[in-house]
Chains A and B, each alone.
Chain A
């Protein structure tokens, strides 16, 4: 057992998560592959979305995996950094827009 959280080898072994629930694992990984196949969005666009979401959910495995994937799909550092800023803006904006609730409540209870 690893003596720390987030061991890099866990990503390579991710498929073994199916051992405890093979049918669910199979369904998940099939679904996962289907999600990232080219459709109305290109594989490159989906990889950039995944990279942004990876930063939002702060998953180090996903950040490594989708950094490489974005590069392999033809994105460059500037495009990937802009994607991360989109995640950052939405996270920041989501905090700030809650300020509206704060404002309303303050108005209600304040003088």
Chain B
């Protein structure tokens, strides 16, 4: 188990330090913009806005080694206020985004979580809860699975592997057992059984310095294994590469894997993955109301350009921007591509 960079006052808690390290580790290689141009994208332009992603804050009951948010139990310093939640809802009403994607930290720990979910549901939006699973077992969240089911909320649950070793290696000892208990709870609430109003998606990140498995080729194996070993069912598997930022960046440096991982991302650049990257159809709102192209840019303090705030959101201006990119973006275009919705190619 690790602790947050923030609590250790580690230099890497500073996004500028992270960006400098990424720049240094890719020195001499083509930069992301060059690769985009070579693939026929002079600039990374937005597609129609579909997903309104709201990061409620960095508070989490877990402290996973790969967390790109630097979330943890000590991060109650970064929590969205009710006023900002209301500003998100007003902005949402200006868009035709069909999905509200609620993330954190563990968004379920946020005092405004149920209010936000209720309001988005009332507006007819598809709501996604990015859930770490173990949070559902906390006494304060008794009955939450049923409450979410009543509002047709899709659960996107993090589970690195359908076996214990890789899950505990990434998320801490005991995480797998808790994940299985929480998945059983979700199944009992009607999730993961083919009902489009009770969708249970599992999200897998590699437990190490390698690319995500191709989700389409391993989904059946996951389904068979979880059913066989634990009697658990789910609807779909999403595979996401780890972004070389925050605590995963720290692990890459400590394990002497940073240069080889960045080379792997660049060597596996897939032009076919560009069209579907999340920054093109998503708006990402931070706990303090700033707007970003994606959750990863948010954690690196790479504000959308020009910088905007949710209180003064202008839907037309949002569509006219170009996405801000740096070396970490290779994480979303490597292999089968990677986004909050899984593979993009």
Name A residues whose Cβ lies closer than 8 Å to a Cβ of B.
38, 42-44, 68, 71-74, 76-79
Query: Which stretch (B81-89, B104-112, B211-219) binds chain A?
Result: B211-219
B206 near A72: Cβ-Cβ < 8 Å: yes
Instruction: Report yes or no: B163 in contact with A76, Cβ–Cβ below 8 A.
Output: yes
Task: Tell me if B166 counts as interface (CB < 8 A to partner A).
Answer: yes
Would you give 27 A-B contacts (Cβ < 8 Å), ordered by A? A38-B217, A42-B217, A43-B214, A43-B217, A44-B217, A44-B218, A44-B221, A71-B206, A71-B208, A72-B211, A72-B212, A72-B213, A72-B335, A73-B217, A73-B218, A74-B161, A74-B204, A74-B213, A74-B217, A74-B221, A76-B161, A76-B165, A76-B166, A77-B166, A78-B163, A78-B165, A79-B163
CB-contact partner of A73 in B166, B204, B213, under 8 A: B213
Q: How far is the CA of A78 from the CA of B204 in the complex (A)?
A: 18
Task: List which B151-171 residues lie within 8 A (CB) of chain A.
Answer: 161, 163, 165-166
Q: Which residues of B contact A44 (CB under 8 A)?
A: 213, 217-218, 221
- Chain A binding surface, main DSSP class: helix
Chain B residues whose CB sits within 8 angstroms of the CB of A78 once the complex forms = 163, 165
Highest count of chain B CB atoms <10 Å: which of A38, A43, A71, A79: A71
Among residues of A, the one whose C-beta sits closest to the C-beta of B222 is: A74
Residue-wise interface mask of B (194-220) relative to A, using a CB-CB cutoff of 8 A (1 in contact, 0 not): 000000000010101011111001100
User: Within the complex, what minimum Cβ distance (angstroms) separates B299 from chain A?
Assistant: 25
Q: How far is the CA of A73 from the CA of B335 in the complex (A)?
A: 11
Q: What chain B residues lie within 8 Å of A79 (beta carbons)?
A: 163
Residues of B within 8 A of A38 (CB): 217
Closest residue of A by beta carbon distance from B267: A12
Contacts of B221 in A (CB 8 A): 42, 44, 74
Which of the residues B210, B214, B217 comes within 8 Å of A71, measured between beta carbons?
B210
